[in-house]
Each structure stands twice: as C-alpha cells, then as structure tokens.
Amino acid sequence: MTNARRVLVHQDRDTLAGSLAARFITKVVDLLDQQAEVNIVLTGGTVGAAVLSAINESPARDSIDWSRVVVWWGDERWLPRGDAERNDTQSRAALLDHVNLRPENIHWLPASDEGIDLDAAAARYAAELADAAPEGAELPRFDVTFLGVGPDGHVASLFPERSAVDVTDATVVAVRNSPKPPPERLTLTLPVINSSDRVWLALAGSDKASALGLALAGASTHEVPAAGVEGRLRTVFFVDRDAAAEVPADLIAVEY
C-alpha cells in the first residue's frame, strides 16, 4: 500500500457513514474557503446512499454553501429518468433534494428515455465533462470522488475482466452485458476517477472482505478494478469491521 492510501475501520455501517459524512462536510467547508466551487463525484449503492443520508441528517449540513457545489456521477444505470434503481434518483432522495444546489451545477448522466442510444449518451456526458474543464484541461478538477466497491471488486461500472476497465482513451464509456443488472450502464473510466484529488471508497459487509484484501494486496486492476483506484492526493478506504476481515493490521491507519 502506498503512502497515499489509508484504511479507516469503523464498528459498523452506520458509524462508517457518519464518519464519512462528517469528513465530507469538514473538507468541503475548508475547500470553499480556498476556491470558488467544489466538484464532487457521487456513487450509488446501499453504502453510498447511507453516506448521503448521513450528510443530510448532520446538524452541520448547512455549514456548506451548497450553491457552490457541483455534482457529477461516477456511473449510472441505463434506465428512464426517475427510475428508483437509478443512482441519481437515490442521490436525490438521500440528499440532493434537501439542499440548495443550483440546477445548472447538477450534471445528470443521460437516461434511457431521452431519445438517444447508449453510445450517444456516453459521448454527451464526455462532452459535458470537457465543457466544464478549466482552460487547457480535459476534465473538471474533481475535489472528492465517492466510490463503492462490489464483492467482485468492481468500482463505478468497471467490472472485472471486462474491456471498460482497461480503457484509457475515453472519459465515459457505454457498458453492455453487465454481470450485475441492469445490463446497460454508463461509467467514467479509471483515468477519470484517478484524476480526482481525493477518492473515498466506502465498503461494508463481510462479502466485501475478499475484494478489499485483494485490492490492497496489489491484485491486477483487470481482475480487481478497485486495485487500480488512486486519487491524485489521497485514497481512503472507509470500511466496517466485517469488510476489514482480510486487511493486515499494518495496513489499517485508524480504527474507530
């Protein structure tokens, strides 16, 4: 494990979500003291939603000037807008509908009922990323990217031994025949994820223990996509005790 990676172990999922929420609020407040806005990349899944709910329920939630927060997603399920299984629908219910975000600062991934096909949708989001980039850059500067990790080690919709995980010449790709339903998805590629200053991965449950252990042991990114995640400044794994079962003690930075 490089010095840029840390593993923070928490008693259970609720403690993990609360800790990550508190860290997020503190970090965003600090960043907004130094810069005009922050770019955040959200994730889906049970733990991702739990973290957003914990942010929403925090008494410190409104210490953030939400009008200066810009929201993106790491991946999305190719379903109609508003479908309960879409990541953005879950994000709205957990947090986004409860804070003062500017509509133009919410960058929804395209939906299946918007009259374009999956490849055109990937191209559209790639163009949106490029349009939001500072002059001379190809991407926005992401301050924090949230990721979940599947039992198979997938992150976003980058699945083991699938071509998307190896893509380096595109920012957004279409995913077909996903091993996890629904079969069609959109996802940021690994270089985009790793362009983020900070990547915070959240894992809870014993079914994640093997994937976490392999990721930290230096497994092949093609076989365990989580192994290839590394933010520019910091990569932190927020895990509960069950997920940490196969992490060597010397790799654990803090235990709560």
Structure tokens at 248: 């060597």
pLDDT by position in tens, the chain (length 256): 444 689 999 999 999 999 999 999 999 999 999 999 999 999 999 999 999 999 999 999 999 999 999 999 999 999 999 999 999 999 999 999 999 999 999 999 999 999 999 999 999 999 999 999 999 899 999 999 999 999 999 999 999 999 999 999 999 999 999 999 999 999 999 999 999 999 999 999 999 999 999 999 989 999 999 999 999 999 999 999 999 998 877 777 766 6
Backbone angles phi, psi at 18, to 5 degrees: -65, -40
For residues 69 and 42, what is the distance between their CA atoms, to the nearest angstrom? 12
pLDDT digits (tens, 9 = 90+) for 163-201: 999 999 999 999 999 999 999 999 999 999 999 999 999
Within 10 A of 80 (CB to CB), how many other CB atoms are there? 12
Structure tokens at 236: 């932190």
Per the CB < 8 A criterion, the answer to whether 122 and 109 are in contact is no
Structure tokens at 133: 């980039």
pLDDT value of residue 248? 74
pLDDT value of residue 251? 75
Per the CB < 8 A criterion, the answer to whether 185 and 156 are in contact is no
Q: Give the pTM.
A: 0.95
Structure tokens at 214: 């392999």
pLDDT digits (tens, 9 = 90+) for 49-76: 999 999 999 999 999 999 999 999 999 9
Which amino acid, one-letter code, is at 206? S
